[in-house]
Amino acid sequence: MDTKNYTDYRSLHVLLTEAMSQKELEDNVRKDGTIQAQVIVTVEESLDNDLEYFNDVLSSRVTGSEAGLTDIGWELAGSVTGTNEMIIRVTGHVEFDNL
C-alpha cells in the first residue's frame, strides 16, 4: 500500500507513515489542543495487548512519544486488503511537554 504524509493533518483522510514532528504538531493542533490523524496498526497490536498499551502505540505513531497524547479516542477507519493491518483514526490532546 502506498501511503504518504500530507501537510494538512486536520483532514480525516490523512494516513501517517511516520510520526509528526513537533513543528507539524504545533502547526496542526486544533484550538482545543487536540489533533486527529490516521495510522496503521496490526491486528495483533490491537488484540494481543491491553488498552493502555494500544493507546501508547497510537500516541507513538502520531507524536513519536508514548506520552505525547492524552484523552485518546480512536475508531476503525478501514483495513489494508490482504494484510493483518487496520487503519485507525486517532484523536487526542497533544502533550507538548511529553514529546
Domain boundaries, the chain: 22-98
Q: List, for residues 77-92, the tens digit of each pLDDT value.
A: 888 888 899 999 999 9
Instruction: Output the pLDDT for position 13.
Output: 58
Q: List, for residues 21-67, the tens digit of each pLDDT value.
A: 999 999 889 999 999 999 999 999 988 889 999 999 999 999 999 99
Strands (E) located in the chain: 34-42, 69-79, 85-94
The structure's pTM equals 0.84
Residue 15, pLDDT > 60, answer yes
What are residue 56's phi and psi, to 5 degrees? -65, -40
- 94: how many CB neighbours lie within 10 A of its CB? 23
Q: What is the mean pLDDT of residues 4-27?
A: 71
Instruction: Output the pLDDT for position 79.
Output: 86
Instruction: Output the pLDDT for position 1.
Output: 33
Residue type, 16: L
Mark out the alpha helices in the chain (DSSP H runs): 22-28, 43-47, 51-63
